[in-house]
Amino acid sequence: MNEKNINSAYALACERYNELGIDAKAAIKKVLGIPISMHCWQGDDVRGFENADGDLTGGIQTTGNFMGRARNADELRGDIEFALSMIPGRHRLNVHACYAEFNGKKVDRDQLGPEHFKNWIDWAKDKGLGMDFNPTIFSHPMFTEFSLSSRNKKIRDFWIRHTQCTRRIAAAIGKALGSPCVNNVWIPDGFKDIPADRSTPRKILSDALDECFAEKLNPKYMLDSVESKLFGIGAESYTVGSHEFYMGYAVKNQTLLTLDSGHYHPTEVISDKLSAVLPFVPGILLHVSRGVRWDSDHVVIVNDELIAIAQELVRLNEFKRIHIGLDYFDASINRIAAWTIGMRAMQKALLQAFLEPRKQMLDAEKKGDYAPRMIWGEAAKTLPFGAIWDKLCLDNDCPTDTDLLCDVKKYENNVLAKR
């Protein structure tokens, strides 16, 4: 896109926002100050590098066979670097334990240590990225249908040890990078069909989590979070770690709570949950995703719910306590585009939220006069937001939306097609 056109459209757009008392330049600055945790697992279809051909289990699934999946950590880091070059601002990388690098000496997941993530940490430091982390409690012979909630002590203890390892790794990451690393526990445990006993697995899980979290680690370096889910493929009737379970657990034990936007009933939205949950927990981790029918993990795009989430984030103004991360995996399209589209969509939604005629809407609401609130909400949708976004991209050496394709295709031909 022509630079001159971007600049003149921006100047006019600023004036238009200014008429409404909105500072567009300040909005750009605010968006650039918000790090988003990009999930490494979009780049290799959630496979990890422990085995060449590990099957993805745990009720999550990638579909599609687009060329050029990253086959090792170096390729994955290269792809991430390229994606980040098209995403304005400074961000974080969210890594799963199954992305360990063994340097010839493979250990099982209950023996992992920070040394297995040295390359990731050094690389993140070099790039100025923060990092977040996750135990990988799926795609492993010790994961049957149950893990931390298993009645089998041997299985349960294995996953407890694994989770304990990941907390220490997270603390080492946070210390090395100078920013707390959120360690997010998600387990797929559940029943395909109607259980005869819903409470025992939940009791077991609660006790197992207590064991996982028993070691006190410095919140300056790592933060614990727990993630609920409604159902998974093969666990349609009962999920041990349901929303109410983890909300209770997080409130009682003062851990963070992860809200994944794909993990609720189709008309249930996390935008409404942020202000309800935040007063009672030390923080929230967002897994911004996009549910489509049975799938909870489509690429994030700007839609009504994303905008509603961003509006709530801006209105709450608790960016230290609410950690924004993405979580989806689409193997049917260029994976680098998938990352870039999702990250930029989150930023666009935030920008739009910073540009809303907030004062006007609030004034109307306080007076109990709701038509003006609706009029301002509707007006916000046709304000020249795109001109502000284009300028944000231009000033940060990133392609505009219409130029994105050209960059993506070049990398596809030069790098991905050769894999």
The site for ligand RNT (CB under 6 A) is made up of 41, 46, 60, 134, 186, 227, 229, 260, 287, 296, 327
**Amino acid sitting at position 388:** I
> Which C-beta is closer to ligand RNT: that of 57 or that of 134?
134
CB atoms within 10 A of CB 361: 19
> Which C-beta is closer to Zn ion: that of 313 or that of 392?
313
Minimum separation from the CB atom of position 260 to ligand RNT (A): 5
Query: Residue 75 binds what, of Zn ion, ligand RNT, none (CB under 5 to 8 Å, by partner type)?
Result: none
DSSP string computed for 329-355: --SSS-HHHHHHHHHHHHHHHHHHHHT
Query: Residue 47 binds what, of Zn ion, ligand RNT, none (CB under 5 to 8 Å, by partner type)?
Result: none
Token pair 């289990």 is found at 57
Query: Residue 50 binds what, of ligand RNT, Zn ion, none (CB under 5 to 8 Å, by partner type)?
Result: none
The residue of the chain with the least Cβ separation from ligand RNT equals 186
Minimum separation from the CB atom of position 43 to ligand RNT (A): 12
For helices 401-414 and 335-354, the axis angle rounded to 10 degrees is 160
Token pair 């028993």 is found at 214
Minimum separation from the CB atom of position 216 to ligand RNT (A): 25
Query: Residue 243 binds what, of Zn ion, ligand RNT, none (CB under 5 to 8 Å, by partner type)?
Result: none
Residues lying near Zn ion in the complex (CB under 5 A): 260, 287, 327
CB atoms within 10 A of CB 125: 15
**What size, in residues, is the chain?**
419
Residues annotated as catalytic (active site), given as ranges: 186, 227, 229, 260, 263, 287, 295, 297, 327
**284 φ/ψ angles, rounded to the nearest 5 degrees:** -130, 140
Minimum separation from the CB atom of position 262 to ligand RNT (A): 7
**Rounded distance between C-alpha atoms, residue 230 and residue 241, angstroms:** 8
Minimum separation from the CB atom of position 60 to ligand RNT (A): 5
Please choose, from the candidates 195, 258, 197, the residue with its C-alpha nearest in 3D space to the C-alpha of residue 229.
258
> Which C-beta is closer to ligand RNT: that of 305 or that of 403?
305
Query: Residue 213 binds what, of Zn ion, ligand RNT, none (CB under 5 to 8 Å, by partner type)?
Result: none
> Which C-beta is closer to Zn ion: that of 39 or that of 69?
39
Query: Residue 383 binds what, of ligand RNT, Zn ion, none (CB under 5 to 8 Å, by partner type)?
Result: none
> Which C-beta is closer to ligand RNT: that of 92 or that of 229?
229
Backbone angle region of 416, left / alpha / beta, with phi > 0 → left and psi within -120 to 50 → alpha? alpha
DSSP string computed for 86-119: TS-S--EEEEEGGG---TT----GGG--GGGGHH
**Rounded distance between C-alpha atoms, residue 340 and residue 204, angstroms:** 40
Query: Nearest 5°: CA angle at 378, between 377 and 379?
Result: 95
Query: Residue 134 binds what, of Zn ion, ligand RNT, none (CB under 5 to 8 Å, by partner type)?
Result: ligand RNT
Backbone angle region of 4, left / alpha / beta, with phi > 0 → left and psi within -120 to 50 → alpha? alpha
The two tokens of residue 200 are: 């025992």
Minimum separation from the CB atom of position 128 to ligand RNT (A): 25
**Amino acid sitting at position 235:** A
Minimum separation from the CB atom of position 301 to Zn ion (A): 17
Asked whether 261 and 308 are in contact (CB, 8 A), the reply is no
> Which C-beta is closer to Zn ion: that of 209 or that of 361?
209
> Which C-beta is closer to ligand RNT: that of 41 or that of 376?
41
DSSP string computed for 129-198: -EEEEE---SSSTT-SS-STT-S-HHHHHHHHHHHHHHHHHHHHHHHHHTSPEEEEE----EESS--S-S
